[in-house]
Structure formats: C-alpha cells, structure tokens
Structure 1
Amino acid sequence: MIGLGPLTGLTAGVTLAAVVATFGIARLRGRYDTIDSFWGLGFALIAVVALPFGTAPVPMRLVVAVLTVLWGVRLSVHLHLRNHGKPEDPRYRKMVERAGPRPAARLFVRVYLVQAVILWFVSLPVQFAMYGNGFGVTAWLGIALWLIGFVFETVGDEQLRRFRADPANRGGLLDTGLWRYTRHPNYFGDACVWWGLFLLACAWWPGAATVLSPLAMTFLLVRGTGKPMMEASLRRSRPRYADYVARTSGFVPLPPKRTAAR
C-alpha cells in the first residue's frame, strides 16, 4: 500500500509514458487521431494501476476499477471502429496544416501532452475512491448515476451507428430514440458516468475535493471540443438541423418542444 500522494505521482508518470507510446504509434500509423482511440483506455489504465494501492475495502476498489474499465474500453473500441477504414479526422488534418514546419512536435505538445494532463486530472475521482471508506449512500448513488450514464452513452452511440450504416439515411438527421430527447445522449451519458465516479470518491470526505474533475469533463463536452464542434459541423451539412435544435434539448434529456414547422 502507498499513500494517495505517491499514487497520484505514479499515475501521472504512467499516463505520460502511455501517451508518449501512443504518439509513437500515431507516427507509425501516420494518423494523429490515434489519441482518440487511447482516450478511454487511458482512464482504464489509471484505474488498474491504482487498484492494488488503495486502502478502501477490496469490493469498493474493485467496483471503482470495473466501472472505469468498462466505460473506458467500450469508448475506445467504439471510437476505433468508428474511425477504422476512414480518412483521418479533419480536425487533425487542419491541425497539421496549421502547425508549420514541425507539425509532429507541435501536435505532441498541443494535443498529446494536453490530453495527458486532462486525462490524469479528470481521473482523480477514480484515484481518490481507492482510499474511501466503503459503500455508503453517496457510493450507491454514484453507481446508479454511472449506470444511467453508461446506458445513455452506449445506446446513443449504437443508435447513431445503425442510423449511419443505413444508406437510406445518407445526409439525413437522427431525431428518434434517445436523440429525440437530447441532441447529445452520448455526451450526456459521458458526463453522468464521471459525476457517478465522483460520488464514489465522496465515500470519504477528501473525495469531495475532486469536484473540479467532473466539472472539467462536463465543460469539455458542453463548451469545449464536444458539443460545439459537432454542432458547428452539423449546421453546415444538415439543412434540417436548425429545426432539430429548436425542438430538442441541447444536453439534458427533455421532452421535445413544439415548433411552428411541426
């Protein structure tokens, strides 16, 4: 067993090493969007590294690790399959074009190192939860919230995958299933997962100090690289998107509004 302080140092080093290795793989593949496939696996790696060192009861540590690994592996597999066989994500191509004479070095610092810091910071509730006091009210609430988020994220992604796989939907807009109630069921689910893990960290009072971690993840999804970038692209490519925005909640699932067009 080691203390929480040394553990956070260990996970920081592991995260950095894993991101450097991912960058090497990206260079070999010639695709900088490899970091997207690593994102979820990075959280799973931190959970596995932290598992043996905590002082929380073993069942508590196992639950935290399993929930994190399930979420992380599913997300990484989903993103890898989504990108496989397709050209590199346009976001990364634009970054390369704007990076100047040394694009690899610039992308390593501006994308890979930045994501390493964010990944480690967002994972703090997982690390703190390994030192908690066991299953109390907040832990059970956290598990319930995690489950809601995991279902929303998994079902939303699968509904979108099936919609895109049907040639009849080419150029169309998914507004059924979970997408009828929120424009981003997968992002909403992602946020719920991390607020659930935060509640698990609150099984002991220092865990409450990690509240900035789920706030950071939620901010990235709602105001950062998630929702705004996705919606900007859809506004340009989908003529019906403005009507969809007018009647559908932007994040939290709500009954659709009535609009004049309907």
Structure 2
Amino acid sequence: MNVFLFAIILLLIFMTLVFFVALWRKDNSIVDIAYGLAFVLVSWTGFLSYGSSHSRQFLLLTLITIWGLRLATHISLRKRREDGEDPRYRQWRESWGKTFIWRSFLQIFMLQGTIIFLVSLPILLVINKPGGELGALDLLGLLIWLIGFTFEAVGDWQLLRFKQSSANRGRIIQSGLWRYTRHPNYFGEATLWWGIMLIALNSPSGWLAVISPLLINFLLLKVSGIPMLESKYQGNAEFAAYKNRTNAFFPWMPKPKGE
C-alpha cells in the first residue's frame, strides 16, 4: 500500500464514522468541523506511516496542522452560538425526504472525503517523495501561506466579533478586512493552498499539487462558497450597496459610496 491508497482508506473510514455520529446527533453540519480535522489526521498518519522525516514534510505538517486545528476550533465555536443544524444542511434534510440517509452519506460525507483527498495532494506528494533541500520556492510558498492564513483567521475573528454584538443583528459587516473584500476568509483559504502547492512543487511529481488550489478556487468561487452564501442576501438593500462598492474576492480599495 502507498500513501495515496492509505489516505483514501483512512478518509473512507473517518468520514463514515462522522456520518454515523451525524445520524445520532441529527446534525449533518458537524461535517464542517470534521473537514479541518481530516486534513490533520491524513497528514500525520500518512507521515508516521510513510514519511522520511524530511524538513519539507515537517514544514507542510506544521502549516496544515495550524490551519486545520484553527478552522475546526472556529467552526466549533460558531456552532455553539447557532440553534441546531446549519440551515443549508437542514434544508437538504427536509427536501431529500426518504432518500435522506443514503444521499447524506454520498453527497455530503463521501463527497467531502473525496474533496479532502484531492486538496491534500500536496502533502501526500511530499510524504511520498519530498524532493531536495528547502529552498527559495519553499520560502515563497510559506510567505504566501502566511498571507492567506492571516486573511482567513483575521477575517473569521472580525466576523465572529461583529456577530457577537446584538446591535449588529441582521447587519452586514463592512469593516476591517471586510471593507476591502466581501469574503476575506475565502480569499485567505484559496491563497494559503496556493502557498502549500508551491512548497509541494519541489517534489518530483509536485506539478500534480496544482489540483489542490484549483479545486479550492473552483468550489469557493463557483459552487459552495460565494454563490451559496450570497444567495441568502438577495433583496437585501444594505448588501446590494456593499456588493456594488466591494470586490467579491480579491482585496481592493472600495468604491466611494454613491458610485
């Protein structure tokens, strides 16, 4: 067995266990907490089973562990403030009816596991064949990861603080990083995976790592990220004005009000 097959089997087992926990709790949205943890699990078990203690492996393990644990912690804290299952998953629960169980297993948990495997390709490639010593490409990747992680972590923190105030209920955050992009956390998420990809390029088959950030960008920009989130604000005048002034993804100076 190689590290790639190992990761597939491990994710199949892990996501199946999360599925049964979700059935017991009647809350499929716990899959969002499992998302970041799955990367940490796959990375460390893959490294302990197939790694060679190369410095590039340790670098990527550190970056993915920091990112995955922070994301899981953030989503856990956010869920504490919410009432039950996330509305997206609740809507699927209601609309799927009698097919809910098998569709949940395949369309939520197994699909999530497949995405995690594809996105984790950079670390798996480096575990398999780490390449030469650390160099300029690793440093560039680390710097890009730091930019992305900062946008994601700070953006999430600013949004959490904004929502904690009862005066902001029903309002749209437009301060901090959110003044320059409507989705600083999504921009950060996409950016940090480009940084991880650059580090993985040092692996002999590292070009395959480009699948990871390309998939993340596609999901955030076209599928479950910006389109799904912004659809909730259709008809909201405050959001319409905010949308007219502020870039959706890449940070930039906002347009003056009234333009």
Q: TM-score range by the shorter chain?
A: over 0.9
Q: What's the offset of the Cα at 1:38? A: 0.3
Q: Does 1:219 align with 2:218?
A: yes
Q: What TM-score, normalized to structure 2?
A: 0.94
Q: Does 1:153 align with 2:152?
A: yes
Percent identity over the alignment?
37
Counterpart of 2:190 in structure 1 is: 191
Q: What TM-score, normalized to structure 1?
A: 0.93
How many residues align structurally?
255
Counterpart of 1:70 in structure 2 is: 66
Q: Secondary structure at the match of 2:98?
A: coil
Q: What whole-Å deviation, never above 9, does each CA across 1:164-200 have from its counterpart, x for those lacking one?
A: 0011111111111000000000000000111111011
Moved over 6 A (4+): none
Q: What's the offset of the Cα at 1:259? A: 3.9
C-alpha separation between the residues in 2 aligned to 1:193 and 1:71? 9
Stretches of structure 2 that go unaligned for 5 or more consecutive residues are none
C-alpha separation between the residues in 1 aligned to 2:188 and 2:254? 18
C-alpha separation between the residues in 1 aligned to 2:234 and 2:104? 28
Counterpart of 2:228 in structure 1 is: 229
Counterpart of 1:120 in structure 2 is: 117
Counterpart of 2:239 in structure 1 is: 241
C-alpha separation between the residues in 2 aligned to 1:21 and 1:226? 25
Stretches of structure 1 that go unaligned for 5 or more consecutive residues are none
Equivalent positions of 1:48-87 (< 5 A) are 48-52=44-48, 53-55=50-52, 58-84=54-80, 85-87=82-84
Equivalent positions of 1:19-168 (< 5 A) are 19-52=15-48, 53-55=50-52, 58-84=54-80, 85-130=82-127, 131-132=129-130, 133-168=132-167
Counterpart of 1:173 in structure 2 is: 172
Q: What's the offset of the Cα at 1:102? A: 3.3
Q: Does the Cα contact within 8 Å between 2:121 and 2:208 map onto a contact in 1?
A: no
C-alpha separation between the residues in 2 aligned to 1:251 and 1:67? 23
Please identify, of 77-86 and 240-249, the stretch whose mean Cα deviation from structure 2 is larger.
77-86
C-alpha separation between the residues in 2 aligned to 1:113 and 1:135? 35
Q: What whole-Å deviation, never above 9, does each CA across 1:37-81 have from its counterpart, x for those lacking one?
A: 1011111111111223234x5322111101101101111111111
Please identify, of 214-223 and 94-103, the stretch whose mean Cα deviation from structure 2 is larger.
94-103
Q: What whole-Å deviation, never above 9, does each CA across 1:191-231 have from its counterpart, x for those lacking one?
A: 01111110110113411122122100111111110111111
* RMSD (Å), alpha carbons: 1.4
- Which amino acid in the other structure matches residue 157 of structure 1? D
Q: What's the offset of the Cα at 1:146? A: 0.7
Q: Does 1:250 align with 2:248?
A: yes
Q: Secondary structure at the match of 2:205?
A: helix
C-alpha separation between the residues in 2 aligned to 1:123 and 1:96? 29
Q: Secondary structure at the match of 1:100?
A: helix
Q: Does the Cα contact within 8 Å between 2:57 and 2:123 map onto a contact in 1?
A: no
